[in-house]
Amino acid sequence: MRLRVPPAFGAGTGSAVSSTSITWSRLTPQFLNPRASWAMPRRWLRGPRCRLPCEEGARLGRDQDEVAGSYDRLAGAYAERIYDELDGKPFDRALLDRFADQVRGQGVVLDLGCGPGHVARYLHQRDVKVVGVDLSPGMIQTARGRAPEVDFRVGDMRSLDLGDASAAGAVAFYSLIHFSAAELDRALGEIARVLQPAAPLLVAVHRGSQTVHLEELWAIAIRLDFVFFESQALGGAVRAAGFELVEVLARPAYKGVEAETERIYLWARRAEAPQGP
């Protein structure tokens, strides 16, 4: 698997995203969003090293009630800091625009682990029929308050209340990062179940091999593990769930806009149903 880095974000010739012409903008001051303040502890970047499957990464991933409770407590502060972050992320906007062009008019699209709903709102504004799903009732309440025109629902990616092949696409931005290896496989399998054949899946994660445990963020008590991914591990899990990989891209952090970690974006599509004899 080749990990591509667009030329504006790294050395070498790079490659634009296939099938769509995208101009990758350099990070300049006008893209920075002063409202999104990420005061992350230094251990965010130097947590205990491991590779999936990883017992350290599984430790809290098994208890999704704690994940939901932590995000319930974070919901207000989280929205205040990151709701407008896409204003400062031209890379992400370009990918989401490409995604919207592919799924527009094809049916319901899922924003899985939608948080306060900023990605769902972005897609809705581009005429995509989107449903935001999140494990945290507090996040869903916040999302509904900020974008009442969008359909938001409390739900669990490991057991979605949707029929087989009922969705035309899905995005999962930083929502696969609290699962153990077994739960990740279960969640990806469930996403595959609800997506139509050839439907796209766009995933964003932090790049690395560490798992970072936090018990406080923005002076709010939480209990969360954040699992980082290398492209091979994530790509293998996605393929095993029934997807075909289209492309994997990476970029460095937008300083001042987000936590300062390198990012991986994985574009996949649901494998076509096997043909009969």
pLDDT tens, position by position, 35-53? 334 444 444 433 333 333 3
User: What are the pLDDT digits (tens) for 206-251?
Assistant: 999 999 999 999 999 999 999 999 999 999 999 999 999 999 999 9
Closest C-alpha among 242, 239, 215 to residue 226: 215
Q: CATH no. for residue 85?
A: 3.40.50.150
Number of domains in the chain: 1
Does 13 fall in a domain?
no
Does 14 fall in a domain?
no
> Measured in whole angstroms, how far is the alpha carbon of residue 179 from the centre of its chain?
13
pLDDT above 60 for 202: yes
Side-chain-side CA neighbours of residue 87 (13 Å): 13
Top-confidence residue, 13 or 96: 96
Closest C-alpha among 158, 163, 192, 177 to residue 234: 177
Q: How confident is the model at residue 85 (pLDDT cuts 50, 70, 90)?
A: very high
Judged by DSSP in three states, 61 sits in helix
Q: How confident is the model at residue 179 (pLDDT cuts 50, 70, 90)?
A: very high
Q: What pTM does this model have?
A: 0.81
Does 138 fall in a domain?
yes
At residue 22, the pLDDT reads 30
Does 135 fall in a domain?
yes
Question: Around Cβ 255, how many Cβ atoms within 10 Å?
Answer: 11
At residue 15, the pLDDT reads 34
The Cα diameter of the chain in Å comes to: 60
At residue 256, the pLDDT reads 87
At residue 3, the pLDDT reads 56
Does 201 fall in a domain?
yes
User: What are the pLDDT digits (tens) for 57-69?
Assistant: 444 444 788 999 9
What mean pLDDT do residues 177-191 have?
95
Does 224 fall in a domain?
yes
pLDDT above 80 for 6: no
User: What are the pLDDT digits (tens) for 154-171?
Assistant: 999 999 999 999 999 999
At residue 110, the pLDDT reads 98
Does 155 fall in a domain?
yes
CA dist 71 to 84, 116, 140, 257, Å?
18, 10, 10, 20
Does 153 fall in a domain?
yes
pLDDT above 60 for 34: no
At residue 68, the pLDDT reads 95
Residue 218's domain comprises 35-270
User: What are the pLDDT digits (tens) for 93-144?
Assistant: 999 999 999 999 999 999 999 999 999 999 999 999 999 999 999 999 999 9
